[in-house]
Amino acid sequence: MTQKQWIAGINAVAAAIANDAEHVREVLLEAGAKNPRLAEIESAARRAGIEVRRVPQQALDGVAGGLRHQGAAARYAAARTWGEHELPALVEAAEGRALILVLDGVQDPHNLGACLRSAAAAGATAVVIPKDKAVQINATVRKTSAGAADRVPVIAVTNLARALRDLKQLGVWLYGLAGEAAESFYGLDLRGNVALVLGGEAEGLRRLTRETCDALVRIPMPGADAAHGVESLNVSVAAGVTLFEAVRQRGA
């Protein structure tokens, strides 16, 4: 199914037009604004056959929902939402090279958006998130992801531990990232069906998630100093590091 929503901000609107124009229904631009990027957005939208309207700033404030719109907003119909029942078909279609990012309780929409951007760039098969106690796809996530939220399947699951067990049954190896783990992430073979499981900002991986993983590994950090609190990477940084190590091993 599709979802209609407003996205706001010059980069978000430009990315939506560039990457997924068929789902942009309308573009609103601030009347009288002199920013040359707004003119570029208008030209790109008109070339794509998208309706463009110049409106007062107050109208943009209303549809932006508190986001900084910079004089641009778009009414957007997201390409689709994905159900957890579709995950097996995605894994099968990857033909033994599925690359799945699992995020266990990420709360910050900017972090989720950044993770989706890395996942899309790495050609990930899917991103799996829990429906509860985690941020879902919203306007902030969509803006931060720069269009990636609609280029990679995002699957929100009711029970994350059960979904992980189902992935195991599909032949996917589950590797959880934990700072205290003894094994280095760089010792893994990431060329087959793998899921990279990362925890949320506050608590990391939850107990059931840890227990379901095939192995817990860490990203070596020579500059880490536990005494001064430098002992873990931001989840979006860790996602980028791990995803692109898989890309490197696969020779892409």
The annotation status of 233 as a binding-site residue, yes or no, is: yes
Cα 180 to Cα 161, 205, 217, 231, distances in angstroms: 21, 12, 8, 9
147 among the known binding-site residues? Answer: no
Six token digits for residue 246: 């898989």
How many C-alpha atoms does 163 have within 13 Å on its Cβ side?
A: 26
Cα gap 21→45, rounded to integer Å: 8
Chain-centroid distance, C-alpha 180: 26
C-alpha to C-alpha distance for 216 and 180, rounded to whole angstroms = 9
Contact between residue 29 and residue 52 where contact means Cβ atoms under 8 Å apart: yes
- Tell whether residue 100 is among the known ligand binding residues: no
For the annotated binding site for S-adenosyl-L-methionine, the residues are 199, 219, 233
For the annotated binding site, the residues are 199, 219, 233
